């Protein structure tokens, strides 16, 4: 029994599958050039790869509008899928609408070509001619997906709006979404439409009412061709029925019909590689960037806060703020993130904040280095780099801390606190005498050596000078006398060495005295007689006593040769010779 049922089902399926219908219906076969034509390609099984014919001689006003309907009547299901085009003829005469193709179950089906006759313009152009009120009502509904920009940059915000156009002659009851589009490769955020607002607009050149059903902001995350899946709605449409009420008015019945918006393809452009800044992390839009601190003067080990703020519009929640780098001797904590981002029809707008808490460990002036943030501006089509200012913070030594605590930090250095200079930061100096940078050093230069050598050469010069001067200032006899003087001295010293030997002593003493006379009186040994000596000495101005003593000495010398002399006498004579020579010499 069961088997029989299966067989029956199978046969019925086979029968229904075999009856594939793919037809092209035109609303009219004859129309004026100022009228429009509706062409509907209908299939009774779901097919893919629908290829519409090229409508030569027509201008496509709208379409393809896709509609799918499925109904069960008396347990029998009927499926219908149709693509509708609205065409406006461009010329008069007989025009042909070519074959449309569709693949159903891997088999290609084609419609037969339709011939249309276009006549001259008619006075009262009707819309779709002989359309039944029912189909008219159903055709008065269009679901359209509008995309703000079909070729955005990667990460540039675009939006897609689903609009439901309803012609004035159609009423709808309700709708529900059958298939919510998934935005693959997009970061999406839908904007809630709080209250549907019915607006008047135009569709295909005719007045329509429309509502914006949904609005979604999309940020493409991939380059290349991306598809937005269509939204499919099931709409309850009020269609006039053939029944009438007792007053003869048409009764309306609600028919559920499925509408889906067209699939939109978006071509996402890659961001230009040229001039791409290093600090670029994917921000696209238009931003302002700033870093601020709440205190610029504080004591060591006290905390302050630094805020990195970014405001503007763009893909705000899709990138991170650049992180703050603290000076090495400052402790920095994880930032507190404080985002205030709203999604509007322009995209994400708002501010992103990272609030850091920093604790300087050491006194001194510390600089928070500037942060760089870059983004791509899709309007100007170029990268923009923003730099925050350097922020300097004056950290004073903390009296509560023991100054000797030195913090061995990661570098392993021991820090000692540097005292703040007491004085003010000095202003620039206003006067200067500029010198060449590469001044030659004088020390050890050639000039230096020459001058020093000159100074040293002065020494020998003076010696030579003195010598020359001496030689020129003395006569021959002077030189002889000098010699004699020296000799006398020499002989007296010789005599002195013979103090113990009386003979030798007196001999040398006599010689010395003679020599002396020779030098002083310029007489020779042969001329020496006592008288002559006395005379000459007196003549030269010698004192009488001295001369006598001198002669006495000479006499002693002669006597000593023949008589014995005591040691005391020798000493006495030596002393006397010395004193007399000195005395005489003074006067001569």
Partner 1 sequence: MKAVTYIFVFVMSFSIWAQNDSIFKKANDAYADANYQEAQRLYQNILKNGEASSELYFNLGNTYYKLEDLANSIYYYEKALKLNPEDESIQNNLGFAERMRLDKFENIPDSEVDKTFEDFINTFSIDSWSILGISFLFLAALSFGVFLIFKRTLIKRIAFGICIAFILVSAGCFTMAQTQLQHDKSSVYAIIFQEEKKLFEEPNTKSSTLFQLHEGTKIKILDQFRSFYKIELPDGTIGWMTTENIKKI
**Residue 198 or residue 451: which is nearer to partner 1 going by CB?**
451
| Among positions 380, 411, 500, 568, the unique one binding partner 1 when judged by CB under 8 A | 411
Cβ 404 to partner 1, closest distance in Å? 11
430: contact with partner 1 by CB under 8 A: yes
Cβ 543 to partner 1, closest distance in Å? 27
* Separation between Cα atoms, residue 101 and residue 583, nearest integer Å: 162
426: contact with partner 1 by CB under 8 A: yes
| Among positions 428, 446, 471, 562, the unique one binding partner 1 when judged by CB under 8 A | 428
Cα angle 568-573-577, degrees, rounded to a multiple of 5: 155
Q: What is the DSSP letter of 412?
A: -
| Among positions 77, 195, 432, 475, the unique one binding partner 1 when judged by CB under 8 A | 432
For the chain, first and last CA: distance in Å? Answer: 185
**Residue 74 or residue 414: which is nearer to partner 1 going by CB?**
414
Strands in 114-119's sheet, in edge-to-edge order, are 30-32, 114-119, 93-97
User: What dihedral do alpha carbons 35, 67, 21, 97 form, nearest 10°?
Assistant: 30
Evaluate whether 137 touches 105 at the Cβ level (below 8 Å).
no
The window from 68-76, 81-89, 109-117, 415-423 that contacts partner 1 (CB under 8 A) reads: 415-423
**Residue 247 or residue 425: which is nearer to partner 1 going by CB?**
425
**Residue 112 or residue 392: which is nearer to partner 1 going by CB?**
392
Residue 206's Cβ-count burial label (10 Å; 0-12, 13-18, 19+) is middle
Evaluate whether 189 touches 216 at the Cβ level (below 8 Å).
yes
485: contact with partner 1 by CB under 8 A: no
* Separation between Cα atoms, residue 415 and residue 362, nearest integer Å: 8
Site for partner 1 in 380-409 (CB under 8 A): 390, 392
* Separation between Cα atoms, residue 356 and residue 122, nearest integer Å: 76
Structure tokens at 349: 């707008």
φ and ψ at residue 311, rounded to 5 degrees: -130, 155
Structure tokens at 39: 């062409």
Length of the chain: 588
227: contact with partner 1 by CB under 8 A: no
4: contact with partner 1 by CB under 8 A: no
* Separation between Cα atoms, residue 312 and residue 298, nearest integer Å: 32
278: contact with partner 1 by CB under 8 A: no
322: contact with partner 1 by CB under 8 A: no
465: contact with partner 1 by CB under 8 A: yes
Which distant-in-sequence residues (6+ apart) come within 8 Å of 94 by Cβ?
115, 116, 117, 118
437: contact with partner 1 by CB under 8 A: yes
442: contact with partner 1 by CB under 8 A: yes
Cβ 390 to partner 1, closest distance in Å? 5
Q: Binding mask 354-383 vs partner 1 (x if CB under 8 A, - otherwise)?
A: --------xxxxxx----------------
| Among positions 123, 435, 472, 539, the unique one binding partner 1 when judged by CB under 8 A | 435
Residue with tokens 């509007």: 344
# residues contacting partner 1 (CB under 8 A): 53
* Separation between Cα atoms, residue 257 and residue 12, nearest integer Å: 26
**Residue 10 or residue 449: which is nearer to partner 1 going by CB?**
449
Cβ 486 to partner 1, closest distance in Å? 18
Beta strands, E only, 154-205: 158-166, 171-179, 186-191, 199-203
431: contact with partner 1 by CB under 8 A: yes
420: contact with partner 1 by CB under 8 A: yes
| Among positions 107, 434, 472, 526, the unique one binding partner 1 when judged by CB under 8 A | 434
Centre a 10 Å sphere on the Cβ of residue 144 and count the other Cβ atoms it contains.
Answer: 18
The window from 95-103, 425-433, 505-513, 568-576 that contacts partner 1 (CB under 8 A) reads: 425-433
Cβ 326 to partner 1, closest distance in Å? 11
φ and ψ at residue 392, rounded to 5 degrees: -105, 140
Which 3 state secondary structure label does DSSP give 321? coil
Site for partner 1 in 328-347 (CB under 8 A): 328-329
Binding site for partner 1 (CB under 8 A): 327-329, 362-367, 390, 392, 410-418, 420-421, 423, 425-438, 441-444, 448, 451-452, 455-456, 458-459, 462-463, 465-466, 469
């Amino acid at each position: 029994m069961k088997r029989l049922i299966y067989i029956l089902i199978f046969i019925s399926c086979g029968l229904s599958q075999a009856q594939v219908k793919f037809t092209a219906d035109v609303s009219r076969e004859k129309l004026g050039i100022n009228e429009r034509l509706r062409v509907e390609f209908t299939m009774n099984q779901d097919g893919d790869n629908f290829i519409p014919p090229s409508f030569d001689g027509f201008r496509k006003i709208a379409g393809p509008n896709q509609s799918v309907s499925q109904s069960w009547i008396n347990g029998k299901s009927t499926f219908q899928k149709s693509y509708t085009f609205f065409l406006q003829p461009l010329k008069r005469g007989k025009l042909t609408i070519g074959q449309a193709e569709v693949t159903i179950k891997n088999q290609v089906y084609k419609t037969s070509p339709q011939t249309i006759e276009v006549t001259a313009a008619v006075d009262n152009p009707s819309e779709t001619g002989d359309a039944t009120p029912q189909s008219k009502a159903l055709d008065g509904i269009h679901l359209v997906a509008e995309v703000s920009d079909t070729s955005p940059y990667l990460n540039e915000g675009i939006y897609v709006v689903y609009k439901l156009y309803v012609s004035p002659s159609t009423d709808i009851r309700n709708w529900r979404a059958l298939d919510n589009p998934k935005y693959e490769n997009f970061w999406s955020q839908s904007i809630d439409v709080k209250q549907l607002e019915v607006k008047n607009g135009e569709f295909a050149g005719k007045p329509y009412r429309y509502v914006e059903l949904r609005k979604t902001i999309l940020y493409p995350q991939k380059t290349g061709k991306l598809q937005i899946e269509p939204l499919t709605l099931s709409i309850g449409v009020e269609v006039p029925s053939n029944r009438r009420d007792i007053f003869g008015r048409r009764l309306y019945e609600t028919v559920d019909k499925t509408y889906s918006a067209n699939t939109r393809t978006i071509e996402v452009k890659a961001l230009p590689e040229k001039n791409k800044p290093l600090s670029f992390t994917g921000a696209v839009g238009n931003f302002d960037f700033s870093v601020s601190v709440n205190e610029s003067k504080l004591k060591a080990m006290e905390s302050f806060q630094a805020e990195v703020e970014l405001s503007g519009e763009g893909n705000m929640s899709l990138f991170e703020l650049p992180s703050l780098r603290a000076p090495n001797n400052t402790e920095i904590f994880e930032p507190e993130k404080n985002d205030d981002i709203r999604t509007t029809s322009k995209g994400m707008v708002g501010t992103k904040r990272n609030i850091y808490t920093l604790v300087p460990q050491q006194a001194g002036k510390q600089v928070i280095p500037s942060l760089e943030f870059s983004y791509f501006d899709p309007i100007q089509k170029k990268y923009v780099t923003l730099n925050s200012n350097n922020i300097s913070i004056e950290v004073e030594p903390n009296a509560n801390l023991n100054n000797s605590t030195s913090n061995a930090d990661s570098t392993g250095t021991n820090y000692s606190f540097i005292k703040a200079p007491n004085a003010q930061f000095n202003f620039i100096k206003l006067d200067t005498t500029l010198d060449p940078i590469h001044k030659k050093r004088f020390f050890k230069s050639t000039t230096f050596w020459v001058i020093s050598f000159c100074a040293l050469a002065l020494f020998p010069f003076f010696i030579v000078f003195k010598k020359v001067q001496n030689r020129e200032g003395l006569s021959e006899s002077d030189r002889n006398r000098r010699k004699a003087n020296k000799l006398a001295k020499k002989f007296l010293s010789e005599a002195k060495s013979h103090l113990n030997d009386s003979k030798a002593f007196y001999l040398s003493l006599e010689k010395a005295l003679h020599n002396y006379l020779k030098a002083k009186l310029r007489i020779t040994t042969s001329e020496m007689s006592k008288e002559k000596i006395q005379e000459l000495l007196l003549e030269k101005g010698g004192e009488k006593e001295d001369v006598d003593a001198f002669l006495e000495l000479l006499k002693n010398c002669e006597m000593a040769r023949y008589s014995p002399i005591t040691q005391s006498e020798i000493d006495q004579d030596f002393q006397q010779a010395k004193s007399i020579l000195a005395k005489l010499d003074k006067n001569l």
